[in-house]
Chains A and B, each alone.
Chain A
Amino acid sequence: MKYDPPFQRTNGFPPVLILFGIMLFLPMILTDTYSRHILILVMIYAVIASNWDLSLGYGGIFNFAHMTFFAIGLYGYGLLAKVIGINPWLAILLAALVAVAFAALLSIPILKLEGVYVILVTIAASQLVLKLIVSQSDYTGGTSGMVLLPRLTVGDYKLNSDGRIGYYYAGLFLLGLSTLFLYKFNRSALGRAVKALRDNKYYAISRGVSEPRMRLVTLCASAFFPGLIGGFYGSYVRVASPDVFGLGFLTITLSILLVGGVSSTWGPILAAFLITVLAELLGDYGIWRDISIAALIILVIILYPGGLFAAVQELWNFADKNKTALIAWYRRQYKANARKELTGAEEKMIETRHGTVAVADTKTGAKSIVFIHGNSSCKEIFTHQFHYFSDHYRVVAIDLPGHGVSYNGRPEEDYSVQSYAQMVAEVVQKLDLVDPVIFGWSLGGYVALEYAAAGYPLTAVSISGTSPVSVFPDDMPKGYIPSPHMELAGKRFHSRYEKQKYALNTVGTDKPEAKMFRDAVWRTDGRAREYVFSKLKTIDWPRQTRLLQQGNIPFAMLNGPEDPFINHSYCQSLKYGNIWTGNVITIKGGGHAPFFMKPVQFNHQFRMFLKSLE
């Protein structure tokens, strides 16, 4: 079960950390036993639900015997601590191990089953355990259950004295441990394999992930903490009754999981607060409580299947979208002079069918050059070119929609290489640039190639930091060097660290005077990154390479050999029909942005190319 929009925020950890910080000090404020009791219940439910998420959400295994793990922990504790009489602390741990053993047993029948059959077997298995427990009434108390289970003590100190403070912190410790475990597990190689099986089973299997083994691992991993908390629950309420197998417990846990949002770990933890407190508030209404919780499940699943987690994500989206728009607005209003200093050109806003874009234009010169910047950058990165070429040429640079001081666009319509190319064509037409030379950098390189391939008017096309691709996506790993920073290019949300890394790699310098260009990443609409990259597959790539091979249009390629992204031997191995000087030009020390890092060499070479066109 997945919520449809892809969530690419890497870190769900800070909210949980804050929550734990609050919970650590909450007992100082809430000193009465009742509110602490509710908080202990919250922790118990949070552990059960967040671990269920491991199998149901991350693993995609419809395990409906999850409450049985809890029940086994509970009854295991009762039998070990009361009937056999071993140390309660040891009994809790042993009971949890019994729950894991049961999970391992349970995984055997469902190793090869699919869909509803998994649900049926797990339900049958949990009923089997229930019937076995009820049938052994000599030890388990049958349908009426076991009472007066031993309490937990440290030395002579009972954990329930001083307003249950001991149980509170023990529960918090278990919840913290469980959350840490889930967090680590989901980010480990095992956790990734589990998720891969859920998302694309056959691909995962073909990459060597064993489905039966992963199911075993998932179930066992999701059983330990519920088993542990089951024993803890037993020592706390001191009763073990077959109610824990009933519909009531199941629906409460399920509602916590669904309201919180599956595949999120911390969603269920937050939801445990909401639902448990809600359930306690409705406690006086008895049956109405069960009805409202069940109705809540149905409503959430029909109206808002992502739960709290999705709500937070959408809130985040909303904030991020507005934040970037606000930065752009602020720069339009107050920073025009700073931009003019860099380009020495007039800036104006031009309305196109892909939104209003900012264009810097030197206005004079018979021949014109249009510069298109790359992903998460801005037109001012061509500052050296403005100063160098404006003597003979009309230099124009455009902020792509969602970048620089252009407005944010509509994601579906405006964020793609094709619509960027259409936008450039419209700007060219509106400014009356007759057959310009189009220069594109990085992602802008694809925009330039697309512009040329679509047959818009131009004299020549030149790219930098771009690998031409003919088969997508197969050529992508050939054209680019695999690096973790490549992934960032198509990511909607960056963490601070990721933004810095990405900016440093694209701009190529950490000098303070280039700070403005690195900051462009902060302004860029995250949706532009995500949509442009997810729509790369819709580009007619062979049309672009055909254009380069046929050579009807003069073409130049200027790369920096230290570029952290481009595979140079790939670029050189391609066939070009009309490439200037017959090969790819390399500009030593140029990095990913040679025109910015080594402007003297670049400008010299580029002017030679422009001269060759005359």
Chain B
Amino acid sequence: MELETLLYILVSGLVLGGLYALMAIGLSVVWTTIGVFNFAHGTFVALGAYIAWQVSSSLGGAPGFLLGAVVAPVALFMIGYALHYALVKPFERNPNIVLLSVITTLAAASIIESMIQLIWGPREKQIEAPVNGNLEFAGLSFSAQDILTFVVTLFILAALAWFLKRSRTGRAMRAAAQNREAAQLMGFNVTHLYALTIGIAAATAAIAGLFIGSIRFINPTFGVDPLMKSLIVVIFGGVAHFTSPILAAFIVGLIEAFSVYFFGLYWAPSILFGLMIIVLLIKPEGLFGFQRKTL
């Protein structure tokens, strides 16, 4: 294999990894904070992509994309915030919350998917990319959209990390995650914080949807794939640190890029799922994990 090919695979793996990180971080934050696995996360990605498409196609070009990048996360934030009250809050004190919320979020995923089909129809769509052409770098050419995606993704992840670690609300969220009762005693409105968590997760999912929609075609059922990828990433890396799923996302992205090259498009998902099962067998808390539930 030539060095050039290797570099191309590496870059595409990293871009993929960035997107996966963006998708998985929402799932991981919700899991660590509320203790719920949100199976509607994939459809958040899809819904975000469709809203962004709607906004950007009406305006067109780079300004449209920019407007979509603002509207889609805001809309999804509100939807996510509201959905907490419908899907998770009724079971807050139920010992079976894990199973119950899996069922309700799956049902919600089905509803959102059907809604998308109802509103936008089954035809495939693509969001117009804000930048075109290639960037030349050291004799290699990379798609400008890929680079933009990668840079923005890193920026958003950093912003989210800052928000959770430094901002007052973010710290309150972490407090609620670590000890719900204590946080409540300190006067935090835990239900609001939980809803906020799902809202933020949905907003990051929308941004991921925006970028995926500008790279690939979107259709109403395309949320399944991001959901599965995020699941793999979260399991792979565990949720011990904020960075664990991010690192895992890059590893998964690279593995996928390499296995697509070596084994073909059809085998890549099977390899990833097989790897995920192996990781769960050996280290259920994830590669970088040492505990089940912290932030």
Contact = CB atoms under 8 A, between A and B. Distances in A.
Interface of A: 1, 62, 64, 108-109, 113, 115-117, 119-121, 123-125, 127-128, 131-132, 134-135, 246-248, 250-251, 254, 258, 287-288, 290-291, 293-295, 297-298, 301-302, 305
Given A115-B98, A119-B98, A294-B111, 12 more contacts: A62-B102, A119-B99, A121-B280, A128-B273, A128-B274, A128-B277, A135-B270, A247-B110, A258-B103, A290-B114, A294-B110, A297-B103
Interface of B: 31, 37, 86-87, 90, 96, 98-100, 102-104, 106-111, 113-115, 117-118, 221, 224, 228, 231-232, 235, 266-267, 269-270, 273-274, 276-277, 280-281, 284
Nearest to B225: A127
B103 A127 contact: no
Contact of A116 (B98, B111, B281): B98
Given A291-B111, A295-B111, A298-B86, A121 B277 contact: yes
B276 A131 contact: no
A295 B86 CA distance: 11
B110 A248 contact: yes
Given A62-B102, A301-B100, A251 B277 contact: no
A127 B274 CA distance: 10
Contacts, number: 111
A291 B107 CA distance: 9
B115 A116 contact: no
Q: Which 6 A-B pairs have the closest CB atoms?
A: A135-B266, A128-B273, A294-B110, A294-B107, A297-B107, A131-B269
A254 to B, nearest CB: 6
A132 B267 CA distance: 8
A253 to B, nearest CB: 11
A518 to B, nearest CB: 42
14 contacts: A117-B235, A117-B280, A119-B102, A124-B231, A124-B277, A128-B270, A246-B221, A250-B106, A254-B103, A287-B118, A290-B114, A291-B110, A291-B118, A301-B103
A288 B115 CA distance: 9
Contacts of A132: 270
A108 B280 CA distance: 11
A254 B110 CA distance: 12
Nearest to A136: B266
A294 B267 CA distance: 32
A120 B280 contact: yes
A246 B114 CA distance: 13
Contacts of A305: 100
B104 A120 contact: no
A189 B31 CA distance: 38
B84 to A, nearest CB: 13
B200 to A, nearest CB: 21
Contacts of B87: 298
Contacts of B103: 254, 258, 297, 301
Contacts of A62: 98-99, 102
B283 to A, nearest CB: 11
Nearest to B285: A117
Nearest to A64: B102
A298 B113 contact: no
